[in-house]
Amino acid sequence: MQQREFTLPIERCPMCGAVGTFHVKGRVDAIPYFGEVMSTSLNCSACKFRHADVMCLGEQKPARYEFTIASEADMLVRVVKSSTGTVKVPKLGVTIEPGPASEGYVSNIEGVLDRIQTTLKLAIKKVEPQKRKRGNAVLKKIHAIRGGKLKAKLIIMDPFGNSAIVDERAKKRYLNQRELKSLKTGPAKIFERAKTA
């Protein structure tokens, strides 16, 4: 995988105004079967603001990717998830929709499951016993999926086409208008052109 890194000089933090504390780092990767992807990381050591995102540098159409996780080896399948991507694992009853602070990442299926597991562990600490029991059942399913003992589908949908499951076994199709309208877009907004009469 080819890689180029860069740093941008930003004098003042756009959030708190501190001088010399804001840093922007980025990397451009050439990902097989997907194209060039730029990962960016922004952070301020003064106010602790941080944000990360991933975007495709080529033109992409709104897309849906689906992959059946069937073995331990599938944990290594590459995943590109932008700040506008929606992640679903129906077997776990999990849907992760983008919000205003949504971040992107380049990882693998194991990394996606790690994120779900970490969030779930935090959430079940603060709920009543019945919900904690359901949460623990989902954690057991995650463990079984990782070990190849339970099959599960991973679905990623992105209205801007900046997310993908990068494997020749992944099923890809373009999103239809109904699906596009139902997706949240995170920090980005989709603007429709006004129709002229």
- pLDDT tens string 88-99: 999 999 999 998
pLDDT at 189: 52
pLDDT at 187: 59
| Residue 158: Cβ within 10 Å count | 29
The pTM assigned to this predicted structure is 0.81
E-assigned strand segments in the chain = 3-8, 22-31, 35-44, 50-56, 63-69, 78-81, 86-89, 94-96, 105-108, 152-158, 164-166, 171-174
1-59 and 60-190: identical CATH topology: no
For the ranges 26-40, 119-133, 141-155, the lowest mean pLDDT is seen at 26-40
Topology of domain 60-190 in CATH is Jelly Rolls (2.60.120)
Domain ranges of the chain: 1-59, 60-190
Res 192 pLDDT > 90: no
Res 40 pLDDT > 90: yes
Res 190 pLDDT > 70: no
pLDDT at 58: 81
Nearest to 168 by CA among 33, 66, 2, 19: 33
Nearest to 155 by CA among 107, 103, 94: 94
For the ranges 63-67, 81-85, 185-189, the lowest mean pLDDT is seen at 185-189
- What spatial distance separates the first Cα and last Cα of the chain, rounded to whole Å? 49
How does residue 15 score in pLDDT terms, banded at 50, 70 and 90?
A: very high
Superfamily designation of domain 1-59: ZPR1, zinc finger domain (2.20.25.420)
Res 195 pLDDT > 80: no
pLDDT at 191: 42
Rounded to a whole number, what is the largest CA-CA distance in the chain?
Answer: 59
